[in-house]
Structure 1
Amino acid sequence: MAVQKRFIAGAICPRCAEMDRIRAWEQNGIRYRDCVSCDFFEQSPIEDDARSELETRVNREREEQRRNAIATVRILDPGSR
């Protein structure tokens, strides 16, 4: 039975930093990823995969928004006890 390899939309290769070049597939309880632009290859057990999310445009933008978020500062009057 042939394994279906699927491209991950928005994923960025950790080695060559190209976007939309990462393929992923599962076989025998192991998840595989590779890049079609360079020689990046990674494998990991499926149960460990829940803690490592692939970097995509979406989660990169969310992280940038979180860092750039404006925090409200509340000034307290020391004499109002």
Structure 2
Amino acid sequence: MSEYKPKRPRRFIAGAVCPKCSEMDKTVMYSNDDGEEVRECISCGFSQTTAEQAQEDQQAQELVTRVTPDGKPVLDDGEQPLKILGLSPSAVNTKADSDADKK
């Protein structure tokens, strides 16, 4: 006689879109025999474990755009941060001290 194994509950994920077929609200989550969470599309059969998703995320790279060609901010030669005069901490303390001396 075979051992009875209860079926693992499958939960539909509201608003989830399948990365393969782009169907919305067709993705279920469940735990496999190893205890890993698995997402599966009931339309196309795509399935992926959380470990596979994590590995895929690590391999993903930042997109190259016109604004940041290599994923790094573009700076002009000789570009420097702005320095606002008269707002250094020592200048503020000196003014406060001189105002106190006048009283």
Taking structure 1 as the reference length, what is the TM-score of the superposition? 0.52
Of residues 24, 35, 39, the one that matches 1:29 is 35
**Unaligned residue ranges in structure 2 (runs of 5+):** 1-5, 58-81, 86-103
How far is the alpha carbon of 1:20 from its aligned partner? Answer: 0.2
**Aligned residue in 2 for 1:7:** 12
**Aligned residue in 1 for 2:46:** 40
User: Are 1:18 and 2:44 counterparts?
Assistant: no
- d(CA) in 1 for partners of 2:30, 2:49: 10
Q: Percent identity?
A: 35
**Unaligned residue ranges in structure 1 (runs of 5+):** 53-77
Aligned length: 51
Taking structure 2 as the reference length, what is the TM-score of the superposition? 0.42
**Cα deviation digits, residues 11-41 of structure 1 (max 9, x gap):** 0000011100000001332111110111211
How far is the alpha carbon of 1:44 from its aligned partner? Answer: 2.9
Q: Which protein, 1 or 2, shows the higher relative CO under an 8 Å CA cutoff with sep ≥ 6?
A: 1
- d(CA) in 1 for partners of 2:7, 2:41: 19
**Mean CA deviation greater in 12-21 or 36-45:** 36-45
Larger strand proportion of the pair = 1
- d(CA) in 2 for partners of 1:39, 1:2: 18
